[in-house]
């Protein structure tokens, strides 16, 4: 079962619908993370609490690890915010830049880019050291790129092919 909005969008590959849905979900996450402190600064405390509750499902929101906006913490910590924002930006660039790589290279890239996040997170969790917001931002961006590589190149889907077909007026219909 798909959302009504996705039924209006005709796309060439099965995973393109997943990418569009992923984009919408991540856009919502980033938007609400920025919206929460804005709402608190305008005195809309109940809306702020509700958005923070929703964001707390995917992020710990520990205040020293969050950016401040309008004098209040974002709805996400630095690492989560940079992770989701990077995925959002990569999906947007995915419409114009084609990334072709063999499956083995994609896996290596994924593990190389995700390992600093795992090492940093585990070393903090086990109290070996305390990370900085700069390191959290860098590891979040690297992990976002890693996930985007897998997301945008799965099953040889490339959005640039869809864009070129669509711009030439060719039919772009999902084949089931």
The predicted pLDDT at position 81 comes to 94
- Per-residue model confidence as pLDDT tens for the chain (176 residues): 444 444 444 444 455 777 788 889 999 999 999 988 888 889 898 888 888 888 888 988 888 888 888 888 888 999 999 999 999 998 888 766 666 667 788 888 899 999 999 999 899 889 888 889 999 999 999 999 999 888 876 544 445 555 555 556 665 544 43
CA dist 130 and 121 (Å) reads: 10
The pTM of the full predicted model, rounded to 2 decimals, is: 0.76
The predicted pLDDT at position 157 comes to 45
- Per-domain residue ranges of the chain: 11-155
The predicted pLDDT at position 3 comes to 47
The predicted pLDDT at position 164 comes to 54
The predicted pLDDT at position 97 comes to 67
DSSP string for residues in the chain = ---HHHHH---SSHHHHHHHHHHHHHHHHHHHHHHHHHHHHTT-HHHHHHHHHHHHTT----GGGEEEETTEEEEEEHHHHHHHHHHHHHHHHHTT------HHHHHHHHHHHHHHHHHHHHHHHTTS----HHHHHHHHHHHHHHHHHHHHHGGG--HHHHHHHHHTT-------
User: For residue 165, what are its two tokens?
Assistant: 């077909």
């Amino acid at each position: 079962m798909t959302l009504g909005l996705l039924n209006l969008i005709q796309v060439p590959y099965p995973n393109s619908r997943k990418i569009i849905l992923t984009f919408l979900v991540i856009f919502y996450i980033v938007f609400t993370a920025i919206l929460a402190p804005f709402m608190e600064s305008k005195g809309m405390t109940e809306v702020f609490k509700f958005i923070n509750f929703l964001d707390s499902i995917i992020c710990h929101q520990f205040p020293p690890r969050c950016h401040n906006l309008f004098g209040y913490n974002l709805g996400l910590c630095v690492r989560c915010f940079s992770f989701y924002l990077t995925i959002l930006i990569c999906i947007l660039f995915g419409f114009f830049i084609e990334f072709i790589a063999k499956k083995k290279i994609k896996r290596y890239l994924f593990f190389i880019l995700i390992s600093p996040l795992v090492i940093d997170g585990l070393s903090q969790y086990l109290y070996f050291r305390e990370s900085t917001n700069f390191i959290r931002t860098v590891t979040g961006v690297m992990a976002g790129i890693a996930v985007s590589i897998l997301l945008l190149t799965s099953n040889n889907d490339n959005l640039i092919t869809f864009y070129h077909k669509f711009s030439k007026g060719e039919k772009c219909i999902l084949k089931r």
